[in-house]
Amino acid sequence: MNVPLTRRSVECVSDLTIDRWLLGETPGSDEARRLEQHMQRCAVCAARLGSLRNLYSNQPDPVATTTARALEAPPRPSPAETGVLQVIVMRDGLLVGTEYFTPGRWVVGSAPGADLTLIDGPLGRHAALTFHAGTVGLEAREGVVFVNGVRLQRAEVRPIDEVWVGPYALRVRVITERWSWPAMVTQPLPAPPQAGPTIVEPPTPQDTRLEVSMWWGDTRVSTCCATDRLTAGDVAALGFERPVLASRGALGRWDVTTPSGALTLSLHEATAVEHGTLKLLLKVTGAPAALGRAPSRERLFPAVLLSTLVASAALLVSMPERTDDEDFSPRPLPAVTIHVTPPAPKPPTPQPASAPDPTSPPAVAAKASPRHQRASPPPPKNRFEALDRVMRSATSATAALTKLGSPGARSRRGPAGPLVAMPGVGAPLLAVGVGTHDSTVGRAGARLGGDMRGGGYGREGKVGGLVVGPVRPAGLSLPKKDGGHVDRDAVAKVIAEHLQEVQRCYEASMLLEGSSGGRLLVEWTIAPSGAVAQAKVASTSLKQASVPQCVLTALRRWAFPKPKGGNVVVSYPFVFQSSSFR
């Protein structure tokens, strides 16, 4: 096995973490919890986990097995050679016996040469069973055959069908081994013999579909299903990097184009495309109505089964998933919630200096500092001037602003830096500091968001997080209905949990682009569902071009708490410090 000098995605977990989890060294720890959460959304790591789990449970190593299989290239069984047919014979409601058949054509009757001899049954070669490609067909020859009570000449027989031959009732069952790779087709196969009784009428193009799944060894990584055609986009969406196309042709066959050539798949045939350790499996399956079936008494059975499954699935989804070593106990969080008031609906109008709006930022500053009120300064020309004014009077305004913004955080964590009230355009704007010290980074080496403190405007060296309310400080226009509020500590917690991904983005860029510190201001919108609706880089002073895109890619996958009342825009600066790294 040659290990290339490449890395998995930046947010992927290491083999050591997976190994320790598999071998029971980290039960119930934060590390295990993060791993389990990551496994739910990362197919690559889930595949890696499955591969290692197989290895440690004394299963054959999928990677090694795949390699050996590729080297030795044993002949795969054809579709007609898979499985064993079991016929269960009953009479008068009692089990008479069972018989097993390999794929082929077998005679049922009481004739001396019959393959399934029914003593005391009808004479001669009564019927013929055909077992081919996992499908069982029945053909009446010298006698009469009833399937589910209806007399038929030819029919496909399923396990739920009941076949009557004279006084005997037969049931069929197809036994396959432990699931194995379906037989692979490497070249177009001849059409199945039309004389066979398996298929009463050829399937029409609407009757087959192509099941597409991606596998890592024997572990299914992802699945999709194409109904009429498979495009390169579908394959890429699965995570498979080789171009594979497929479209349905005549008689329900599928024309598949793979990097190694084109081939045609018939019903119940499959092929696989390998790329590295991943395999893309393409399998043609038939819809139940495709084959000429006997009239079924169990017409309602699939519907009942389906509804039961749906109900069970809904019950399972509604129930919290628990395993023995999972730790989903609620973590005690301080109940600090900042409600950001939506802006007043009136349009921005200039406020006269003599009668300041009590909600305007200069008034906020004035309220914080009575001396300012006495001075009655002229209204600021723009928000930055107003902000500078506030910051200049920070000694006295800090306490008032802090009191305005985040009493909970202040009381819990001590003075957390000034909370900034930025003047909006004729409407109040509130910005609250995230205020957390949960960062685990910020030690040696690259220093990332080490000192996260509430507010950061104009304070060099402090890294701040802003949960910005309905009015954007940067002047971006957002509809007013976007005003919502969200628990800022919960947002900070999500950011802190994912800081490792940001860290890895930075580390990954070090090798190729060198290292230098900088500040990356990211803005994103949290939709009411908690997902990131849009994310962008507001400003960056980083020299590494790959870091912002990497951070945005990771950020779009984060799940935030659901805001109430609409979207919430979050602005958060990540500061990378690399003091003496080359």
User: Around 463, how many Cα atoms within 13 Å sit in the side-chain half-sphere?
Assistant: 23
Q: How far is the CB of 197 from another protein (least distance, A)?
A: 45
Candidates 345, 383, 337; CA nearest to 364 is 383
Stretch that binds another protein, among 141-149, 171-179, 440-448, 456-464 (CB under 8 A): 440-448
Residue span binding another protein (CB under 8 A) among the ranges 3-11, 69-77, 150-158, 539-547: 3-11
Q: Are 537 and 481 in contact (CB under 8 A)?
A: no
Scan residues 257-286 and list those touching another protein (CB under 8 A): 259
User: Measured between alpha carbons, how far is 161 from 170 in angstroms, rounded to an integer?
Assistant: 9
Specify the residue, 215 or 506, whose C-beta has the smaller distance to another protein. 506
**Two structure tokens written together for 17:** 């973490």
CB atoms within 10 A of CB 537: 16
User: What CA–CA distances, in Å, run from 437 to 142, 226, 416?
Assistant: 86, 49, 10
**Is the CB of 60 or the CB of 149 nearer to another protein?**
60
Instruction: Identify the residue among 14, 308, 539, 541 touching another protein (CB under 8 A).
Output: 14
Residue 309 contacts another protein per CB under 8 A? no
Site string for another protein, 37-56 (x = CB under 8 A): ---------------x--xx
Q: Are strands 532-540 and 168-175 parallel, antiparallel or unpaired?
A: unpaired
Minimum CB separation of residue 472 from another protein in Å reads: 34
The closest of 517, 524, 582 to 544, measured between CA atoms, is 517
In the list 112, 371, 444, 460, the residue contacting another protein (rule: CB under 8 A) is 444
Query: Does residue number 25 form part of the binding site for another protein (CB under 8 A)?
Result: yes
Q: What is the amino acid identity at position 582?
A: R
236 belongs to the binding site for another protein (CB under 8 A): no
Residues 64-83 binding another protein (CB under 8 A) are: 64
Q: How far is the CB of 581 from another protein (least distance, A)?
A: 6
Which of 33, 34, 61, 516 is in the footprint of another protein by CB under 8 A? 61
* Residue 241 neighbours by CB under 8 Å, 6+ apart: 275
193 binding another protein? (CB under 8 A)? no
Q: Judged by CB under 8 A, which of 100, 328, 384, 581 binds another protein?
A: 581
Question: Please, which residue, 394 or 511, has the CB nearer to another protein?
Answer: 511
**∠ at Cα 544 (541, 549), nearest 5°?**
90
338 vs 502 by CB, closer to another protein: 502
Q: What does residue 33 show for φ and ψ, rounded to 5 degrees? A: -65, -40
Under the binding rule (CB under 8 A), the answer on residue 4 touching another protein is yes
Structure token digits, residue 297: 């008494």
Alpha helices in 156-299, H assignment, sequence order? 232-238
Q: Which residues 483-512 are close enough to bind another protein by CB under 8 A? A: 500, 503-504, 507, 510-511
Please report which helix (H) or strand (E) contains residue 408, including its range: helix 407-413
Please, which residues have CB within 8 angstroms of residue 468's CB and are 6 or more apart in sequence?
A: 340, 429, 431, 568, 569, 570, 571
In the complex, least distance from residue 504 CB atom to another protein, rounded to whole angstroms? 6
Residues near another protein, by CB under 8 A: 1-8, 12-17, 19-20, 23, 25, 52, 55-56, 58, 61, 64, 259, 441, 443-446, 500, 503-504, 507, 510-511, 515, 580-582
